[in-house]
């Protein structure tokens, strides 16, 4: 038994994890539902369409508020809007608005508000109230008013009844529908005269996104249709709503000629289309009659608000927020063109079985084949799940949860990789030993490279430079060669790329520079030779940006060439700064056919200081996380009381090399000032410096 457990422990652990994941899916707590919703929302985002609609929204927008004043408006406004709409013969008119209180501008309310006595207001009492006028218009039209489920009673509540008559077959719908003990609606006077009462209740969603909606609900033990269903009933001139049930719940809800498949609780999943401005029309335009008759003819008209502060914001699976009235518009469209989404209970069982099979295949193969091949199996399974889910959604409008199966397969795959990692740990240790050996080789290469940098400590009174590599091997370099007692060649360069290859390229450039300067060639000829040798070296894709110079410390004359490098910083004793830009491309790219292709400049630096640096200086990070930049170099110099080449270079290095684990780039910097040209005696000079 012990041997068996040791041999198959990884499989036993996997089975335990798989059983836990399947159990969670069966229990389906909110956080598991949220995983499933990821794929449901993704389908809609990818396949969302813009299409013409049989639903129009009369919008209580900012323009309407500007015309009629603050909300709620005088009911006469709504009465006239209904009059205008009825000229176009709409199929039904629905209000996504509550009229819970009497109109404040009615004669009765005015008398009460101002404390008038009957003799003062005899004529006023004869006038019809706005509520009476509005009620008459509602009665004359195919109108629907909103009702809302509530867990607390409303002070203005009365024993309201639905306008729709429910007929059922196969059971009692009340056993399966969502129920509220109370309801909130409009004035009894208004509700008595409308053709329909439609629920605008949304189910609580953990993330606030409205994905589904009950077509029928219970308020105070009475069935009511949702706003969209009631609008379709009124528009189809039907009195009845037929509910078909089986032993597990509701199957189908019918409003002739429309048949809607729902879940056992009478819920449908809404398929949203992209919002369209042309579906909206301002309430003020309708009031004024500024519309074509065809715009409302045979259309379902919803009246709701989009003005700030009035409308209920609703998040949709499309990732946008819309007014709640547009949700009901989508429901009407779904019912009319049979485009609502389906979440089949049998699909749930299929998802579980499919997840188990794919997880088993993924884990077993991850234990049997090489990791790189198991990766292709993993991605193949993920792709298969995605294709199945999207295909069923596209062609059947059915919601298949692909998020949780992908989660299960991913966790299964990672579990398999973990066990493979344990089994192949010995191989990993061997690789680590090889890495340690390579590290030593890199350290050796770094040591060799450091030996290529010259010792210029004897020149530090007038020329000083430093290099701080970001990695083991630097791609920057500098050099100073004394050709005569008064003349010095110098260079500071930055090789493209990083690592050992860049270091080798740098070493070659450095050796060519030393060879040619020791021959005391003009600086133009030196650059000519270095460029052509680097081109011949065939380091594919690599080049060098560099500053080359020949300095006479007696006369102060400097002949220099800037080949695609950072601008040279120059300043006088009063610290007036200027930058000398590059006038040539980097070297090592194209071959020069004559020295005339090398462009040099001559300046006198007797009263000036030059600072040359690579981009590792200007782009280096300060301790506060910001880049130093050219202005930062100036700030450092401004803080130095005794300006010498060494103090400049040391200050820049200290500012950038502040103790970070890794530098962003190599720090290479050189400063030149010939105020003091005394050599510092530190033993014998090398032959190259004689």
3-state secondary structure 446-461: HHHHHHHCCCCHHHCC
How far apart are the C-alpha atoms of 237 and 231, rounded to whole Å?
Answer: 10
Asked if the peptide bond before residue 166 counts as cis, ω within 30 degrees of 0, the response is no
Residue 112, pLDDT above cutoff 60 = no
pLDDT digits (tens, 9 = 90+) for 511-564: 899 899 988 899 999 999 999 988 888 677 789 999 999 999 999 999 999 999
Same domain as 41, residue 72? no
Same domain as 295, residue 185? yes
Within a domain: 644: yes
How far apart are the C-alpha atoms of 480 and 454, rounded to whole Å?
Answer: 7
> Domain boundary at 423, 457, 474, which?
423
Within a domain: 38: yes
- The region, left, alpha or beta by phi > 0 then psi within -120 to 50, assigned to residue 423 is alpha
Same domain as 174, residue 64? yes
What kind and span of H or E run contains 143? strand 143-150
Strands 240-246 and 165-169: parallel
Within a domain: 6: yes
Which region among 103-112, 374-383, 462-471, 604-613 has the lowest average model confidence (pLDDT)? 103-112
pLDDT: which is higher, 602 or 369: 602
Asked if the peptide bond before residue 72 counts as cis, ω within 30 degrees of 0, the response is yes
Number of alpha helices (DSSP H) and beta strands (DSSP E) in the chain? 21, 28
Which region among 45-59, 431-445, 505-519 has the lowest average model confidence (pLDDT)? 431-445
> Domain boundary at 407, 423, 439, which?
423
How far apart are the C-alpha atoms of 383 and 378, rounded to whole Å?
Answer: 9
Mean pLDDT of 202-216: 87
Same domain as 612, residue 583? yes
Same domain as 63, residue 110? yes
pLDDT digits (tens, 9 = 90+) for 258-271: 999 999 999 999 99
Tell me how many domains the chain contains.
3
Same domain as 325, residue 292? yes
Which CATH number belongs to the domain containing residue 579 in this structure?
Answer: 3.60.40.10
How far apart are the C-alpha atoms of 488 and 23, rounded to whole Å?
Answer: 81
DSSP letters spanning 612-625: EE-HHHHTPBPTTS
Mean of pLDDT over the chain: 86
Within a domain: 430: no
Residue 123, pLDDT above cutoff 80 = no
Same domain as 470, residue 352? no
Measured in whole angstroms, the distance separating CA 473 from the mean position of its chain's CA atoms is 38
Q: What is the pLDDT of residue 5?
A: 61
Maximal CA-CA distance, the chain: 125
Residue 118, pLDDT above cutoff 70 = no
Within a domain: 443: no
Residue 577, pLDDT above cutoff 80 = yes
Same domain as 320, residue 221? yes
Same domain as 364, residue 260? no
Residue 455, pLDDT above cutoff 90 = no
Same domain as 274, residue 415? no
> Domain boundary at 389, 405, 423, which?
423
Domain that holds residue 366: 2-45+344-423
Within a domain: 444: no
Q: What is the pLDDT of residue 576?
A: 93
Residue 22, pLDDT above cutoff 80 = yes
Within a domain: 441: no
Same domain as 500, residue 411? no
Same domain as 162, residue 106? yes
Phi, psi of 332 (to 5 degrees): -60, -45
Within a domain: 438: no
């Amino acid at each position: 038994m012990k041997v068996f457990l040791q041999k198959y422990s990884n499989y036993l652990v996997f089975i335990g994890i798989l059983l836990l994941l399947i159990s969670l899916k069966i229990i389906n707590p909110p956080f598991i539902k949220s995983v499933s919703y990821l794929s449901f929302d993704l389908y809609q985002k990818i396949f969302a369409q813009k299409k013409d609609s049989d639903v129009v929204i009369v919008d209580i927008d900012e323009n309407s508020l500007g015309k009629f004043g603050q909300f709620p408006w005088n009911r006469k406004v709504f009465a006239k809007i209904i009059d205008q709409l009825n000229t176009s013969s709409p199929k039904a008119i629905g209000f996504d608005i509550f009229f819970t209180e009497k109109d404040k501008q009615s004669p009765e309310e005015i008398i009460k508000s101002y404390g008038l006595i009957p003799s003062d207001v005899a004529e006023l009492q004869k006038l019809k109230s706005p509520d009476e006028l509005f009620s008459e218009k509602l009665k004359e039209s195919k109108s629907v008013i909103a009702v809302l489920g509530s867990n607390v009673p409303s002070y203005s509540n009365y024993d309201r009844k639905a306008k729709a008559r429910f007929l059922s077959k196969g059971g009692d719908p009340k056993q399966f529908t969502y129920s509220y003990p109370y309801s909130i609606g409009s004035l009894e006077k208004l509700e008595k005269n409308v053709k329909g009462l439609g629920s605008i209740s949304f189910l609580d969603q953990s993330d606030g996104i409205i994905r589904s909606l009950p077509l029928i609900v219970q308020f105070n033990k009475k069935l009511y249709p949702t706003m969209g269903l009631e609008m379709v009933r009124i528009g189809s001139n039907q009195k009845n709503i037929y509910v078909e049930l089986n032993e597990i719940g509701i199957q189908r809800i019918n409003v002739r000629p429309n048949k809607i498949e729902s879940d056992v609780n009478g819920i449908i999943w809404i398929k949203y289309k992209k919002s369209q401005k042309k579906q909206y029309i301002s309430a003020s335009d309708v009031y004024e009659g500024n519309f074509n008759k065809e715009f409302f003819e045979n259309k379902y008209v919803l009246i709701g608000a989009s003005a700030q502060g009035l409308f209920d914001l609703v998040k949709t699976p499309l990732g946008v927020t819309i007014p709640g009235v547009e949700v009901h518009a989508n429901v009407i469209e779904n019912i009319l063109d049979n485009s609502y989404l389906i979440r089949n209970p049998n699909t749930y069982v299929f998802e579980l079985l499919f997840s188990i099979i794919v997880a088993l295949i993924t884990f077993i193969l991850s234990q049997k084949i090489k990791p790189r091949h198991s990766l292709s199996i993993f991605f193949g399974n993920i792709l298969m799940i995605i294709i199945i889910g999207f295909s069923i959604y596209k062609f059947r409008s059915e919601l298949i949860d692909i998020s949780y199966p992908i989660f299960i397969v991913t966790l299964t795959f990672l579990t398999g990789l973990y066990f493979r990692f344990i089994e192949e740990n010995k191989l990993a240790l061997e690789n680590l030993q090889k890495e340690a050996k390579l590290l030593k080789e890199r350290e050796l290469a770094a040591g060799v490279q450091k030996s290529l940098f010259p010792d210029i400590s004897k020149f530090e009174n007038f020329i000083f430079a430093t290099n701080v590599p970001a990695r083991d091997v630097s791609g920057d370099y500098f050099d100073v060669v004394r050709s005569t007692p008064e003349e010095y060649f110098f260079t500071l360069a930055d090789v493209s790329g990083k690592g050992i290859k860049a270091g080798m390229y740098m070493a070659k450039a450095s050796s060519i520079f030393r060879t040619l300067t020791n021959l005391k060639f003009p600086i133009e000829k030196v650059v000519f030779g270095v460029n052509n040798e680097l081109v011949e070296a065939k380091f594919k894709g690599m080049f060098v940006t560099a500053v080359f110079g020949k300095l006479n410390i007696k006369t102060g004359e400097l002949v220099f060439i800037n080949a695609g490098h950072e601008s040279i910083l120059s300043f006088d004793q009063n610290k007036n700064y200027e930058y000398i830009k590059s006038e040539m491309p980097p070297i090592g790219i194209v071959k020069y056919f004559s020295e005339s292709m090398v462009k040099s400049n001559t300046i006198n630096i007797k009263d000036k200081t030059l600072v040359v640096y690579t981009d590792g200086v200007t782009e280096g990070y300060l301790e506060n996380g910001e880049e130093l930049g050219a202005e930062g170099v100036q700030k450092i110099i401004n803080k130095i009381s005794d300006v010498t080449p060494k103090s400049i270079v040391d200050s820049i290095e200290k500012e950038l090399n502040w103790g970070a684990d890794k530098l962003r780039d190599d720090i290479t910097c050189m400063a030149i000032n010939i105020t003091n040209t005394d050599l510092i005696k530190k033993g014998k000079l090398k032959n190259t410096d004689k």
